[in-house]
Structures are given as structure tokens and as C-alpha cells.
Structure 1
Amino acid sequence: MADGKILGIQKLGFQWQAEDPFLVTMYHKDHYPAGNEEQGVDPALLAGRNIGQDFEGRDGFRMYHGESVPGFPAHPHKGFETVTVVLEGAVDHFDSKGSYGRYGNGDVQWLTTGSGCQHTEMFPLVNSDKPNPLELFQIWLNLPAKSKSAVPDYKMLWAEDIPVIEQKAANGKTTTVRLVAGKVNGVESLEPNSASWAHDKENHVGIMHIRMEPGAVFTLPAVSKTLNRNLYFYEGDAIQINHETILTSHRVKLAGDQEVEITNGAKESFLLLLEGEPMNEPVAQYGPFVMNSKVEIQAAFEEFQRNQFGGWQWGRHDPVNERNAGRFAHHWDGRVEKR
């Protein structure tokens, strides 16, 4: 760390610590079995689990807050954004504005919760004849004070449209970057929601999923002295950053104003890069609400108790789409996207 390029190293836990403008990142990797008629788990496999609060990882999977279908039934959010990056598996979305859909296998949902909404994130087991593996990140990105009252909305970044950049090192080994937000080698990402901190390019928000072949070398450019840059090394064996060896399952805080070279070890590695200029605003967070003060948090709870952020029209708290629905998004304004 003497060269000032590595500013800190931290072991990864269930929730990955983040820095302004990011709040936290959750990484989910579950090996779900074949689904039953309801796209859920066979009840015989649920015996002994703490249904409704199942985070144990028993038998290789978690039900989370789901009862028959794993996932996160209807719950509220206010004052920030969720960026859900699905590497494998399916996610069903329903929200209190009337939108619904299914995405997965490389798709990204960019949800601005703004002034408040309820939504679901259920993990339907669409395969009835084979396992249903799931792997995703959910990244919480703060909203600046001026955008916390934005109208809730979401945008789909479909897998086919997300830029993928391949960079070969001198030894011929390749690094592949899926660019969710930001810029790499002159290639820009798709545009996020208009209320997002990432919408202003001067905020240098970057969200990148990185795959490195054994022996591959990848260089992060210098951006700015104020940039918060964090590299999450979550799968592989070891990487080297400026001659310092980093083992897997660690977060590395890097200087934002210096070029940083990453050299992979003997195994294929996977990393997540989150970077951006800080908002430098006070953060008050309680559960699903992120505001700028405790008074605003209290007001958010009172508002939710009063109007339920528009109520819930879906009949059940854990709805799922039809098994063969495919990937689609039906927006509250009537727009329909199908993939």
C-alpha cells in the first residue's frame, strides 16, 4: 500500500460495504432445485427452514423472505436506487405503480425509488425438469437530496444491449468488461434513469462486471482525486495490484486519481467495480428508506403508513408471472418491452 494506489483491503461479508455515492451491495448465489407447478420449491425440501426469514444457505440455497417461491415479496423503498445485475436465473418484478415483468441471464434493472414505491423481487423456478441456478448483484445507489422526490420509475438494460468490452494483454490473455454504467476504452454505457446521480457524466459513476482469464492484465485509468473506487474480488484465487497479492473474497479500495494495473493469477477471476464522485450529503438510513435526516426518515414511515406508496393491486404479496412468460417489461404508462 506504500505507493498509495491501494487505500484499504477488507474481507467480504454477506453485505458488501460501499462508499458514497453507493450505499451497499448484496450478492446472491443460490443453487435452486427444479420448480414445482407454482414455480416454487417442493414443500418437502422446506422442512426445518425459518420460512419468511431464511438466509441460512442450507442445501445450497436460501428462500429469503419467500414462502414457496424464493425472493423478496412486496416491500417499500424510498430515496435511493437499486441496480439489479442478474448474471444467471430469472427475477419477477411487480410494483405499486402497476408495472411488472421478468428479467434475467445478463439483464439489469435500474429502479429509481425516489418519492416511494413498493415492489417485489421474486425468483421463480421456471425450470421444472432441471435445477434453477441464480446469481445476481443488487447495488444500492443513493439519490441526491434534489432527486429523492423523483417519480418512481425503472429502466431495463437488456443483456443484448449492454456494452461488452474485451481487452487483450500483451500475453494474449483477455479481460471482458460488461459495462452497466460509466466508460471503458472510449465506450460508454447505456443511459441510466434521468434522476440518477449516474446520469451526469461528471459524477463518473462506474458499474462494471469484470471477467479475467488466467494471467490477464487490466488497467483502470486515473479519473479524479475525489473519486471513490472499490473493487470487489468475489471469485477466483488471487490477483495482483501493483505487486501486492489480493486473495478472493475481498474489497479493495483504490485511489481514483492513479492508474491501477490488475494482474490475474492462475485461475479465472470475477470482479465487480463500483466507482463514483461522492455526493457529500448527510445520509440517514433506516431499513428500506434512505433520506438526509432522521426527521425525513420519520416522515417517510408516516407517509408509507398513510398511503402505502400507492397501495398494492396484485392480490398477493409474492406474485409471479406465467412460467413461459419470457423476458419482458410492462411499464405503468403502457409501454411493453419483450426480449
Structure 2
Amino acid sequence: MNNIIKSITPTSTRIPVKSPFILASRLYNNYPAGNEKMEPTYYIENREIGNDFNLESPWRMYHGKKVPGFPSHPHRGFETVTIAAKGFVDHTDSVGSTGRYGNGDVQWLTTGKGAQHCEMFPLVNQDEENPFELFQIWLNLPKKNKMVDPYYQMFWNEDIPIVENKDSNGNISKVKVIAGDYKNAKALNPNPDSWAAEKENNVTIWIIELDPHAEFTIPATTETANRTLFYYEGDSLKIEEDEISKNNSLDLVPDREIKIKNGSKLSNLLLLEGEPINEPVASYGPFVMNTQKEIMQAFNDYQQTQFGGWPWDRNDPVNPIDSGRFAKYSDGTLSYPKEN
């Protein structure tokens, strides 16, 4: 192993991360065609409907009983950055927001002092399969912002900067800049109370696509940052002289350029980096705070207030099959991608 790779961890779903990130995971499913209710047209035998995480199966229902996904559940003290790379997500939350996003869109949710949300995966294609790929990244909040009001916004795929490069042989690489900046491209503004909102925290979230044989260099950041590179699609690539196969997560030295040479197939990577939040972390289930006492308080508050309650008539709502991509915020404001 060369001196810019600290460690390599085999993974296909749960990505090992360091502060300021708490958790990162990739959900990938080859869902079948759906029916008029956006449910799968068949169920695989012996799956545990409502608690289905069988990684050996071609697709999973997770906590959904009719439509795949995650019915209403609470969070406090951190943010979720959800990249819907393929397929669609129907969002609802306890402050009254709703929407549908997918095929490259990103949702950024600050849970702050407490919010419930629901993430269902409607199978909108009735005459063909519904491929699905999603990354959910938990970004911690500093103590001063853990009890802010919840805040939610959409980054439509059409608005997210993508920078295209050509190497000396004409091979193309593309960088989708979800957080941070790259060359002359700056990401859309993160939520106002986010650790990413302060430039000196160097929070970076990129999706990197490499054509066959493309060469690409990740620029150096500060020596104090944490840097994770997850290789999830392709065959193999080289970092310096080390050959890396897909479904591996790399902990990399942050203050060195990372030179990558792709193999013979298209490759995709997720880059996560940022300055650590140098504060104690206490986490349990859906809550991330600084002390165990605060975790217990979060459970007590949720039991007593339900974080404002649930304004929807079911805990797993989905939007109409033909609703398209949209976001409706709690004040009634509507947002659509440019194509609409």
C-alpha cells in the first residue's frame, strides 16, 4: 500500500466515514415493474416485509410494507444529504413539506432540534423495471447548531454543477459538485446552519465519473481534514501503483494530490472530505448529540411531542404516480426542476 492510502475497507453498502460525517450508505436495487399503487408487481419469497435488509436479494423493501422505503421516523442533531442517483424518492416530513425527487437530484435536510421524515421509493414504471440507487450521508452538526429549527431544500440535478475534464489522451472525467468547489465551479449553497456553510470547514461531496482509461487528480486539501473515497462502480483503477477493485472504501491522506488512472470500464466514485468537528459525539439510533444525557432527552422529547406530530394520514405516504419531480415546502412554496 502506498503512502497516500491509510486504509482500504471492502464495502458495497455501509461506507466507513470520519468526522464531520457520521454515516454514509449506498442503497442499490433492481426493482421490478410497479403496479398502479407504485408497489412491486411481485414479492420475492421468504423476504421479511417491513424489515427487509437482505443484501443477497436483488432488491429490498427495507421498512416498507407495500412500497419500498422508510416510513416516518425521527431524527435530531445532524443533517441528511440524500443523493437519488437512479429512481425516485417521495419525501414527507413533520413540518408539512413533501415532494418527489430522483435521477440525480439531491435533498439536504437539517433535522436540528427534531423532525420526522418519510422516504418512500415509488415504483413509477409499470411496463419496465425500476432501477434504484441512493446515497444517504449523515453530516454532523456542531453543538451550537444541534437545536436549530429543521430546514429542507432540494438541489435539482439540472442545477448541480458538473465539471468535465480531458486528460492528455482525451479521456473524459466528470465531477458532480454537491458540496464544496472544484476548479471554477462552486456547489449550490448548503443549508444555512450546516457545517458545510462555513467555507473554512472544507466540506466536499463529489460524485466522480471516469471514462475508460481516464486519468484524474483529486486536489490536496488541508492536513487536518478527513478524506474518504468510495469506489462503487467499475472494474478496477490505480491510485499511484496500487490497483483498487470496486466496492472498496479508501481512507486517504488529505494534503496530497490523489492521482487516479481508471481501468477499462466506466468507473464511479464518491468523495467525502471535510474538517472534523472536534466535539464529543454521542449517538443512538436516529439521534446524534454530544452527550448521553442529551440522547436521553431526545428520546423523552420525541415521546412527549413527536417533534410536532405527523400531519399526514399515513406513515408511508406516496405522491400520485404522475406527479413528476417537485418540492412543496412548509410555507406552501413550490419548486420544480427546470425541465418542468
**Fold shared, TM-score > 0.5 on shorter chain:** yes
Distance in 2 separating the partners of 1:139 and 1:59: 23
> Aligned residue for 1:214?
212
Distance in 2 separating the partners of 1:190 and 1:72: 27
> Aligned residue for 1:75?
73
Match of 1:196 among 190, 194, 214: 194
Q: Amino acid of the residue matched to residue 291 of structure 1?
A: M
Contact 2:196 2:202 in 1 (8 A): yes
The normalised TM-score by structure 2 is: 0.97
> Aligned residue for 1:111?
109
For the residue of structure 2 that corresponds to 1:240, the secondary structure is strand
> Aligned residue for 1:180?
178
Distance in 2 separating the partners of 1:116 and 1:313: 15
| Counterpart mapping for 1:120-135 below 5 A | 120-135=118-133
Number of aligned residue pairs: give it. Answer: 337
The normalised TM-score by structure 1 is: 0.97
Contact 2:101 2:326 in 1 (8 A): yes
For the residue of structure 2 that corresponds to 1:224, the secondary structure is coil
Contact 2:12 2:26 in 1 (8 A): no
Q: Percent identity?
A: 52
Give, in angstroms, the shift of residue 187 of structure 1: 1.2
For the residue of structure 2 that corresponds to 1:45, the secondary structure is coil
For the residue of structure 2 that corresponds to 1:278, the secondary structure is coil
For the residue of structure 2 that corresponds to 1:111, the secondary structure is strand
Structure 1 residues 156-183: Cα deviation after superposition (integer angstroms, max 9, x where no partner): 0000000000111101111111110011
> Aligned residue for 1:298?
296
For the residue of structure 2 that corresponds to 1:219, the secondary structure is strand
Structure 1 residues 296-322: Cα deviation after superposition (integer angstroms, max 9, x where no partner): 000000000000001011111100000
Distance in 2 separating the partners of 1:324 and 1:296: 43
Give, in angstroms, the shift of residue 23 of structure 1: 0.9
Which runs of 5 or more structure 1 residues have no equivalent in the other structure? none
For the residue of structure 1 that corresponds to 2:159, the secondary structure is coil
Structure 1 residues 123-160: Cα deviation after superposition (integer angstroms, max 9, x where no partner): 00111121111111001111111110111011100000
Q: Does 1:30 align with 2:19?
A: no
> Aligned residue for 1:337?
335
Which runs of 5 or more structure 2 residues have no equivalent in the other structure? none
Distance in 2 separating the partners of 1:38 and 1:240: 45
> Aligned residue for 1:241?
239
> Aligned residue for 1:224?
222
Q: Amino acid of the residue matched to residue 267 of structure 1?
A: K
Distance in 2 separating the partners of 1:47 and 1:262: 42
Distance in 2 separating the partners of 1:186 and 1:278: 25
Give, in angstroms, the shift of residue 219 of structure 1: 0.7
Give, in angstroms, the shift of residue 48 of structure 1: 2.2
| Counterpart mapping for 1:5-16 below 5 A | 5-16=4-15
Distance in 2 separating the partners of 1:332 and 1:209: 30
Give, in angstroms, the shift of residue 335 of structure 1: 1.1
> Aligned residue for 2:162?
164
Give, in angstroms, the shift of residue 14 of structure 1: 2.9
Match of 1:311 among 300, 309, 312: 309
Q: Amino acid of the residue matched to residue 303 of structure 2?
A: Q
Contact 2:12 2:232 in 1 (8 A): no
Distance in 2 separating the partners of 1:241 and 1:338: 40
